[in-house]
Structure 1
């Protein structure tokens, strides 16, 4: 038994600390670090002509949803694993017709988004929603490999942009 009661200041403080610690142990993945409010602006960053560097893009699975009863014609729902080596670059690309959700499983990577004047740092456990209003590129500035899982609705199967 604890030597204090829940009515005491110490008891309430320890109880609150225990609740916070317990809740954080079961927390879901965090929505990724976002663009600071004062850095959000349309066309904050111009397109850059970069080629992929140190990136392995592996399709894990895909579903042709136009052939299934989902009423999503002309789309392929796919899951990919992207591995980005230190110094690696995922080149500039748009999500105008290809929404995606990215889950960072390992490492830390920096995003340079068209709608943010500041670089955005994403860490393992972060989730990034890539919507039609963003074009961007990513770079691994660290010394460890970064691994991302990407789920998207691909419209153009000949689109080899990441």
Structure 2
């Protein structure tokens, strides 16, 4: 596990540098949807989640009982981040190591995200799921704003 941790740390440093960071592979223009489509309910498979840190935002600028949370997700080969929505949960995800495929309600085809790419997740109808189609683990860093009660669900 030590080489994986070292590789993840080096990849994170590279991914966070201004020269290496790019916006994620987006949906090709000809496949973008203006209204969300129904997507399949993908299960949670072989995805490890670790909360790295949280900041309690309650009362800041009138914000309610919410947290800013940063997590590391490791999606093992064949793993799936289950179908979830971002109607009311803004998030930013960075691919630290590997390639991962997103299935989005606003794209008619799968979207490939690669090491160093970042993608925002938020808005009405924004639902999706991710899968690791490769043979190596994928490491993601995800920062999101979540209500306190959502912290009890290990999958969210």
Both proteins in one fold, TM over 0.5: yes
Partner residue of 2:51?
59
- For the 8 Å contact 1:65–1:71, the answer to whether it is kept is no
Partner residue of 1:11?
none
More strand by share: 2
Normalising by structure 2, what TM-score? Answer: 0.81
1:112 to 83, 97, 103: 103
* 2:112 is equivalent to residue 121 of structure 1: yes
Distance (Å, rounded) in 1 between the aligned partners of 2:85 and 2:102: 13
More helix by share: 2
**Structure (1 or 2) with the larger CA radius of gyration:** 1
- For the 8 Å contact 2:39–2:104, the answer to whether it is kept is no
Partner residue of 2:11?
none
Q: How far did residue 71 of structure 1 move?
A: 2.8
- For the 8 Å contact 2:97–2:115, the answer to whether it is kept is yes
Distance (Å, rounded) in 2 between the aligned partners of 1:90 and 1:107: 15
- For the 8 Å contact 1:66–1:73, the answer to whether it is kept is yes
Pairs within 5 Å for 1:1-162 = 27-41=19-33, 42-44=35-37, 46-67=38-59, 69-133=60-124, 134-155=126-147, 157-158=149-150, 160=153, 161-162=155-156
Q: How far did residue 155 of structure 1 move?
A: 2.2
- Taking a change above 3 Å as real, the CA distance of residues 89 and 70 of structure 1, as seen in their structure-2 partners, is same
- For the 8 Å contact 1:75–1:154, the answer to whether it is kept is yes
Distance (Å, rounded) in 2 between the aligned partners of 1:137 and 1:113: 7
Normalising by structure 1, what TM-score? Answer: 0.78
Unaligned runs of 5+ in 1: 1-24
Equivalent position SS for 1:157: helix
Task: List structure 1 segments (4+ residues) > 3 angstroms apart after TM superposition.
Answer: none
